[in-house]
Amino acid sequence: MKNQWTWTRMPKACEITEDRISITTLPHTDLWQRTYYHFRNDNAPVLQMETEEKYFSFTVKTDFRESHQRFDQCGIVMYLDAENWLKASVEYENEHFQHLGSVVTNHGYSDWATTAIPADIKEMYYRFSRREDDYCVECSYDGEHYSQMRICHMAEGAGKIRFGIYACSPEDSSFTAVFTEMKVGECVWKAHDGQQPDEV
């Protein structure tokens, strides 16, 4: 797998070194499609690498201590095109709590799965794993113990994909997100060993 990063969209400012990437967001940037809110937004900065590898895991540490406005967010992303992508992040809400969550968008419709976490949490690790066209997203507070956020199927995620990191500020805001400890390696999401598949 080539660890060559390419921008889908450039941020307001960025800094890339061997072991650290920072992204400064522009106001009114986001990834969202149709569902519930009845609007679409497809202008968040996205930095990704490309692969046809069917089984792998990608981990990254995010630092979002500068987030301060509702919906400021940064995390992992698999952006295939405007209508097919997934993301996971912590979204700032207010001084009391924020949303740890994920969005999966298939054929132009987004969902949103969240849980509330304290507002004083300012770092989060993510692990993104692929098994063919199925995907697992996990999070961790310490980079050692991961919890499953979701398992999903991507309708257009069977072949060549792009995955990586993103940050955005959907409202009138800007902040700098920092990404470190990025690793791509063997898939740690193991094959299912429970109930056998139905016969067809």
Residues 6+ apart with CB under 8 A from 15: 21, 22
Q: Which of 39-43, 52-56, 106-110, 129-133 has the lowest mean pLDDT?
A: 39-43
Distance from the Cα of residue 84 to its chain's centroid: 13
- The 10s digit of each residue's pLDDT in 139-161 is 999 999 999 999 999 999 999 99
Domains annotated on the chain, with CATH: 6-185 (2.60.120.200)
Question: How many C-beta atoms lie closer than 10 Å to residue 7's C-beta?
Answer: 12
Mean local confidence (pLDDT), 27-34:
95
**String of b and e for 109-138 (b: at least 16 CB within 10 Å)?**
ebbeeeeebeeeeebbbbbbbbbeeebbbb
Bridge partners, 56 (sequence order): 130
> In which band, very low, low, confident or very high, does the pLDDT at 37 lie, cut at 50, 70 and 90?
confident
DSSP string, 120-157: T--EEEEEEEEETTEEEEEEESSSSS-EEEEEEE-TT-
**Residue 37 is which amino acid?**
Y
- Has residue 38 got a pLDDT over 80? no
